Structure 1
Amino acid sequence: MALADFKLEDRFARNEGDVAMSGVQALLRVLVDQLRADRRDGMNNAAMVSGYRGSPLGGIDSLMLGNPQELVDNNIEFVPGLNEDLGATTVWGSQLANRNFDGKFDGVLGMWYGKAPGVDRSGDAIRHANVCGVDPKGGVLLVAGDDPASKSSTLASESEFALLHFQTPILYPGSVQEVADYGRIGYELSRYSGLWVSLKIVTNVADGYSTIKVGPGRVQVERPDFEWDGVPWQHTQQDSLFGPLAVRQELEIHEGRMEATDAFTRLNKLDLVTGATSDARLGIVAAGKTYYDLREALDRMGLDESALKQRGVRLYKPAVVWPLEANGVKEFARGLETIVVVEEKRAFIEMFMREILYGSTNAPTILGKRDASNGFWFPGHGEMDADLIARKIRPFLVQHLGEDSVGPAVRERITIPVSLGAPDSKKQSNRTPNFCSGCPHNRSTWVPEGSEAGGGIGCHGMASMTPTRNVKGTTQMGGEGVQWVGAAPFVTMDHRFQNIGDGTFHHSGSLAVRQAVAAGTNVTYKILYNAAVAMTGGQDVDGGMTVPELSRSLEAEGVSKIMVLTHDTEKYGEDAKFADGTEVWYRDRLDEAQRMLRDVPGCTVLIYDQPCAAELRRDRKRGKVAEPTMAVFINEAVCEGCGDCGEKSSCLSVQPVETEFGRKTSIHQSSCNKDFTCLDGDCPAFIEVVAGGAVPEKSALAIAEIQADQIEPDRLDEGNVLMIGIGGTGVVTVN
């Protein structure tokens, strides 16, 4: 396929061939290809997708909502979960459509998605649904997003042990292509075994972007001739788990579904063996992304496929990391003296390799998290990459293969000299996290003198990194304020503020408020209402309420007093129905409002209502919101450089500037979001400018001026590009 023949829209529309997409986008392609394959096989199937957004799967809901025609054309229903466990229950319900009701389709596929904390909190729903079984013509794919380096999570994550506990087979793709392929395999395995099948996706795979091959006929699987209790295998689907029924389903999982999973994996040769297939003494095991990091590390040291065969090194890449297929593991281990398991986090594959090979004749030594001397070897923390693997494994390979057989761990790389000028020692400092210019959290997270606030999940959590805010601690999503419920009886402090975003409140935090009310705890919840889930893409809050509706809901919960602070007190209109006694003030009175609420016994709530600055900026660029006509400048000749405006606003656009008269302050116009909190100080240096006259049209490139015979500049066929940006979203957007 020529490059000119491809359009980005083809990633879902093209029936088969080469397309380009990200790891997250490949999940929609999985559904499309599976449904197309089902239609080819004579089944009129549909699909249900539900879950909760969270990095590295933060864009799935935007992906689904952004491709409505693909959903309609393929009978895909997308229902965002208010939280992860309700999303899992929604998917569970989709599998009962044909069992308990008069179904409209032959089968229903289910897809649940969530990051690792969502996997944890959804365990009860997933276990129940998994024991009940799936639609025989449908099946469920459980997509678990893992963030091993804790780039956008409070905890570094690995979901394997939770998924093992739920008894869901685990497929671990290491590339975008494998997301597309393993997703299809997962559905076929699910409907055959009767189990929910997990797809573990790490950050680098979810955010990765590549050209892949797709098509309904790309994945071909066979069903084993497996018998259980003397009859051809067919799992039992239940919707009731009382007494004997639950025990019977448990039996079927252990002796039926797991055996069916092994038979499926074995027959379809899902696991990959490379390198020396015979006369090997050393074996190395890795799965998913880690397998490709391992191959890169080995290639750097001169150990490509032919070198591995020559030196007697065999590699094993399990597609299904649990349950490991025992016959395949034993065949791989035959003749080996030593097996090294390379995997991120705790020993998982290594544990089951030991279990399978223990007691076998001439069983090889198995190493991984610890070396032959029982010292720590491959780390059980953080994220692995090719550099780390190369440094860790090279001494071992030299010992077993010889110095001449193994190249350096990190080869000399081609570097491009870039002149950055002489370093300024005064500017050498770590970049601390801060809020966007005009972010409402810049102001809303302050507390009165003598008070402190609890931190939580969301952008506002950065306040805990700013000493002047007196915001302390963190908690799991939805637990905001309940730590204080447990601590309050045992401390001298008699009141605390608690920050919570409106997205978290609607996800699960409303129960935390109810808990505080029930316990009679003196706490003021500050619900930071910006009507967007800013950390995962600025999506609307699922199940969200307007501020007046929210006040009435809180009143019904038993909150002692409710106050609303906003940048625009007229926005609600005269007909707004707030809870009785709710006071609506302008945001400048934050300190006064907080002092009032902290003196009210029991649980009180302050709703701070102001739009997310990043979303407001986007809406202005898209013409959805009018651009303010006023701009603010600072007259450097008048400015004394005291920094009071920066202290008042905590705004990144208020920046120091060196002048011939010393250090002054300026407004960085291109990043200014026109929140104007910098005007709160009483400073004569500020100038308010209202533009007048005609607005010049934006200049555009005159295509017609380009000569037809103009020679295009040379372009590299391949090369490396260094992307520099704040946070990961910018790089993902470029992809």
Structure 2
Amino acid sequence: MSSKQDLTRQFTAEEGIIHIGGIEALVRLTMDQIRFDRRRGLNNAMFISGYRGSPVGMLDANFIKQQKLLMQHNIQFVDGLNEDLAATAVWGTQMMHTVGKQKFDGVVGTWYGKAPGVDRSGDALKHANYTGTLRNGGVLAIFGDDPSCKSSSLPSQSEAMFYHVGIPSLYPGNVQDILDFGLHGYYLSRISGLWAGLKIVTNVADGSGSAIVDPDRLKFITPVVELDGRPYSPEVNLGMNVRKDALDMERTLYYARLELARQYARENGLNKVTLPNVDAWLGIITAGKTYHDLRQAFMEMGLDDDALRRAGVRILKIGMLNPLQPDDIRDFARGLEEILVVEEKRPFIELFAKEILYGTANAPRIVGKRDEEGCDLLPFHGEFESDIIARALHARLSRKTRLESAEAWIRRLDEIHSRNALTTLTRSAWYCSGCPHNTSTKAPDGSIVSAGIGCHTMAMWMKRGVVMGTHMGAEGAQWIGMQPFTDTQHIFQNMGDGTYAHSGSLAVRYCAATNTNITFKILVNSHTSMTGGQEIMGAEPVRNLVAELVANGVKRIIVTTEDLSRYNAVNLIGNTEVWHRDRIMEAQKLLAETEGTTVLIHDQECAAELRRQRGRGKAWEPEAVMVINERVCEGCGDCGEKSNCMSVEPVQT
């Protein structure tokens, strides 16, 4: 037997049990869809595009890593410049019938993006969803939600946006669900003419587990829905600029296509009663990752399925959040006195469950975020953990029955939470050793500095004058609305080259067009370091960046760098100078005194990526090193203060 390990088995095995991570499962899913099509005799291709960001921040890197396998499945991955342009590119796969002879029977589309990308892509998603999908195509939109704000500017819950644009949302709770719900999403998209959404939260993306793979594991049932007395068959309608066609698209969306999605969920069992109990009085509805948190809470409370049945509990796990299947809810509610909806963030399932059951005979009481008296029960904010859920479960169960193991667990939680937390040293987020932000985020004393999205945001807790910030791509635009009403004449705005390429260039143009007194400090470090160190789609060499800025009306530009020799043969247009980074403070003062919009470009590569490249022998080794003589060092700490470098550690002298 060969001892050689197959490092791609999690992607290639077509039968058996595999161990796979959440992001890897999304990569495998795309190949599974093409395999599914091939078994049905379709010679299909797939196009994937999107934009990185937690919790799907490394999805693009994994697609690139598996490029050879993707090519074997006719899958083309193209990194997105930003989310809405990527969504539009994916939309194009469902217009293939308009441009002559096609190379394949159909092209499947896959889009991905984190919650802010969903927000900014609403117009593209709505237009694409309204116009429809091709019968041999279909589109899956993978949207990443970060409920605990682990790596985001704000916590997120994106299913409401998908509801707004009319895209059904499936919510997997583990890697098995990703593979299963993902295939259902592609199939649903084809038969309904809708895009289908796949909600991925941080714990699912970052987690891993075992999954069963089998070509015959899933069966796909196509429901029949009538419109105007005839079975409805979706067609792509690209006439959204014609009022009649646009209104017809809206009509079919709500009376046929979303109804197909509802019936698909019903006939394919996407919503499952995982704990049936004909004698139950309390029904619990939950979905996705929260379902597993619920199960964890019950386990910690000492309640297995038999104990839960004796306590009168029934559980429904929702697979399709939107549209919520009304018959599944009505069947589940039959005979219950109460339904507890356990879901993170603001109520979503709870609202639709109330709408479905309102006015029906013997409808159970529904509680979730608040109880029947309006008192808080489950939080609107943060991420759920089993402890939070356990308290709500105990509050409802204890009204009918006494469960000693549950009471003991709640007492233990109370005892744990009553302890005085030990004061421990915590390591704050900081710049990597050698990070160009150690230099680029410094500003002259008394300056007003604005942050945005990127590693430079960490300067907010480094006493560097950062007092405000914006969402991605709008950095600096807020000052246009502030400047007329303050005595402050100028601010600095930090921005990375990744953000500039994504959408930030528009904010620079806006400031230049309004002759706003602002200096953009653009770090050119060649990578989107915060989301995995990927190369920047659409990145420009500094020469081209300078030309673009000058063309857009920027009044003065100074480039700072640690290596002036890189610019010996580079011609920069306009009033552009290249200075050593030692003069960065002088450069900022000069730019701040210049009326209008100015730019400081700090050209220095990401230190973490540079170290990786050096380890692979693909980057130069530094010729100059700094040595601190410990025998004469007085331990003043000035070296650490000036360098802001983690690797400068104090020693006893």
Aligned to 1:668: none
Aligned to 2:417: none
Alpha carbons of 1:9 and 1:87: their partners in 2 closer, same or farther (altered >3 Å)? same
How much does 1:396 deviate?
A: 2.1
Aligned to 2:577: 583
- Whether 2:584 is the aligned partner of 1:617: answer no
How much does 1:101 deviate?
A: 3.4
Aligned to 1:194: 193
Secondary structure at the counterpart of residue 107 of structure 2: strand
Structure 1's unaligned 5+ residue stretches are 414-422, 665-735
Deviations 1:367-418 (Å, cap 9, x if unpaired)? 00001321011000000011221133223222222234745336989xxxxx
How much does 1:18 deviate?
A: 2.0
Q: Say whether the 8 Å CA contact 2:446–2:465 is kept in structure 1.
A: no
- Whether 2:230 is the aligned partner of 1:231: answer yes
Aligned to 2:168: 169
Distance (whole Å) between structure 2 residues aligned to residue 16 and residue 109 of structure 1 = 23
Aligned to 1:261: 261
Which has the higher mean CA deviation after the structures are superposed, 267-276 or 193-202? 267-276
Aligned to 2:522: 527
- Whether 2:332 is the aligned partner of 1:338: answer no
Alpha carbons of 1:110 and 1:227: their partners in 2 closer, same or farther (altered >3 Å)? same
How much does 1:268 deviate?
A: 1.1
Aligned to 1:325: 325
Distance (whole Å) between structure 1 residues aligned to residue 389 and residue 509 of structure 2 = 49
Structure 2's unaligned 5+ residue stretches are 414-420
RMSD value, Cα: 1.9
Aligned to 1:551: 546
Alpha carbons of 1:398 and 1:90: their partners in 2 closer, same or farther (altered >3 Å)? same
Distance (whole Å) between structure 1 residues aligned to residue 170 and residue 232 of structure 2 = 22
Aligned to 2:646: 652
Which has the higher mean CA deviation after the structures are superposed, 476-485 or 262-271? 262-271
How much does 1:52 deviate?
A: 0.5
- Whether 2:396 is the aligned partner of 1:374: answer no
Distance (whole Å) between structure 1 residues aligned to residue 425 and residue 118 of structure 2 = 38
Distance (whole Å) between structure 2 residues aligned to residue 633 and residue 391 of structure 1 = 57
Aligned counterpart in structure 1 of residue 557 of structure 2, from 558, 562, 565: 562
Aligned to 1:128: 127
Alpha carbons of 1:521 and 1:336: their partners in 2 closer, same or farther (altered >3 Å)? same
Aligned counterpart in structure 2 of residue 438 of structure 1, from 414, 434, 445: 434
Distance (whole Å) between structure 2 residues aligned to residue 215 and residue 195 of structure 1 = 27
Amino acid at match of 1:559: V
- Whether 2:638 is the aligned partner of 1:639: answer no
Aligned counterpart in structure 2 of residue 447 of structure 1, from 443, 447, 453: 443
Aligned-residue identity in percent: 50
Aligned to 1:103: 102
Q: Say whether the 8 Å CA contact 1:226–1:233 is kept in structure 2.
A: yes
Secondary structure at the counterpart of residue 497 of structure 1: strand
Which has the higher mean CA deviation after the structures are superposed, 269-278 or 640-649? 269-278
Query: Map of 1:14-163 to 2, 5 A cutoff?
Result: 14-163=13-162
Q: Say whether the 8 Å CA contact 1:276–1:308 is kept in structure 2.
A: no
Aligned to 1:479: 474
Distance (whole Å) between structure 1 residues aligned to residue 183 and residue 410 of structure 2 = 37
Aligned to 1:396: 396
Deviations 1:417-441 (Å, cap 9, x if unpaired)? xxxxxx998xx54433321111110
Distance (whole Å) between structure 2 residues aligned to residue 4 and residue 233 of structure 1 = 55
Deviations 1:563-588 (Å, cap 9, x if unpaired)? 100011111341x2312221011100
Aligned to 2:183: 184
Q: Say whether the 8 Å CA contact 1:286–1:318 is kept in structure 2.
A: yes
Q: Say whether the 8 Å CA contact 2:134–2:235 is kept in structure 1.
A: no
- Whether 2:490 is the aligned partner of 1:495: answer yes
Distance (whole Å) between structure 2 residues aligned to residue 335 and residue 405 of structure 1 = 27
Distance (whole Å) between structure 1 residues aligned to residue 437 and residue 363 of structure 2 = 59
How much does 1:174 deviate?
A: 0.4
Alpha carbons of 1:215 and 1:572: their partners in 2 closer, same or farther (altered >3 Å)? farther
Q: Say whether the 8 Å CA contact 1:274–1:305 is kept in structure 2.
A: no
How much does 1:99 deviate?
A: 4.2
Secondary structure at the counterpart of residue 259 of structure 2: helix
Q: Say whether the 8 Å CA contact 1:398–1:406 is kept in structure 2.
A: no
Aligned to 2:534: 539
Alpha carbons of 1:289 and 1:230: their partners in 2 closer, same or farther (altered >3 Å)? same
Q: Say whether the 8 Å CA contact 1:300–1:411 is kept in structure 2.
A: no
Secondary structure at the counterpart of residue 638 of structure 1: coil
Q: Say whether the 8 Å CA contact 1:341–1:350 is kept in structure 2.
A: yes
How much does 1:306 deviate?
A: 1.9
Q: Say whether the 8 Å CA contact 2:137–2:190 is kept in structure 1.
A: yes
Distance (whole Å) between structure 1 residues aligned to residue 394 and residue 17 of structure 2 = 37
Amino acid at match of 1:114: G
Distance (whole Å) between structure 2 residues aligned to residue 474 and residue 21 of structure 1 = 38
Distance (whole Å) between structure 2 residues aligned to residue 86 and residue 302 of structure 1 = 50
Distance (whole Å) between structure 2 residues aligned to residue 544 and residue 629 of structure 1 = 28
Amino acid at match of 1:162: M
The structure with more radius of gyration? 1
Deviations 1:27-47 (Å, cap 9, x if unpaired)? 121111111111110111111
How much does 1:630 deviate?
A: 5.1
Aligned to 1:705: none
Which has the higher mean CA deviation after the structures are superposed, 103-112 or 626-635? 626-635
How much does 1:344 deviate?
A: 0.1
Secondary structure at the counterpart of residue 321 of structure 2: strand
Aligned counterpart in structure 1 of residue 591 of structure 2, from 590, 594, 597: 597
Aligned counterpart in structure 1 of residue 506 of structure 2, from 503, 511, 518: 511
Secondary structure at the counterpart of residue 499 of structure 1: strand
Distance (whole Å) between structure 2 residues aligned to residue 39 and residue 656 of structure 1 = 63
How much does 1:103 deviate?
A: 1.6
Alpha carbons of 1:156 and 1:636: their partners in 2 closer, same or farther (altered >3 Å)? same
Secondary structure at the counterpart of residue 369 of structure 1: coil
Distance (whole Å) between structure 2 residues aligned to residue 408 and residue 570 of structure 1 = 70
Distance (whole Å) between structure 1 residues aligned to residue 411 and residue 371 of structure 2 = 25
Q: Say whether the 8 Å CA contact 1:397–1:406 is kept in structure 2.
A: no
How much does 1:267 deviate?
A: 1.1
Secondary structure at the counterpart of residue 157 of structure 1: coil
How much does 1:629 deviate?
A: 5.3
Distance (whole Å) between structure 2 residues aligned to residue 5 and residue 393 of structure 1 = 49
How much does 1:132 deviate?
A: 0.0
Aligned to 1:708: none
Secondary structure at the counterpart of residue 398 of structure 2: helix
Q: Say whether the 8 Å CA contact 2:171–2:199 is kept in structure 1.
A: yes
Higher relative contact order (CA 8 A, sep 6+): 2
How much does 1:135 deviate?
A: 1.4
Secondary structure at the counterpart of residue 299 of structure 2: helix
Distance (whole Å) between structure 2 residues aligned to residue 8 and residue 215 of structure 1 = 19
TM-score, scaled to structure 1: 0.85
Amino acid at match of 1:609: D
Amino acid at match of 2:431: F
Q: Number of matched residues? A: 645
Distance (whole Å) between structure 2 residues aligned to residue 79 and residue 182 of structure 1 = 24
Deviations 1:434-456 (Å, cap 9, x if unpaired)? 21111110111111123221111
Distance (whole Å) between structure 2 residues aligned to residue 209 and residue 403 of structure 1 = 33
Alpha carbons of 1:317 and 1:6: their partners in 2 closer, same or farther (altered >3 Å)? farther
Amino acid at match of 2:284: I
Aligned to 1:733: none
Alpha carbons of 1:141 and 1:411: their partners in 2 closer, same or farther (altered >3 Å)? farther
Secondary structure at the counterpart of residue 145 of structure 1: strand
Q: Say whether the 8 Å CA contact 1:34–1:216 is kept in structure 2.
A: no
Distance (whole Å) between structure 2 residues aligned to residue 424 and residue 116 of structure 1 = 35
TM-score, scaled to structure 2: 0.96
Distance (whole Å) between structure 1 residues aligned to residue 273 and residue 110 of structure 2 = 30
Which has the higher mean CA deviation after the structures are superposed, 24-33 or 532-541? 24-33
Aligned to 1:273: 273
- Whether 2:461 is the aligned partner of 1:465: answer yes
How much does 1:466 deviate?
A: 1.3
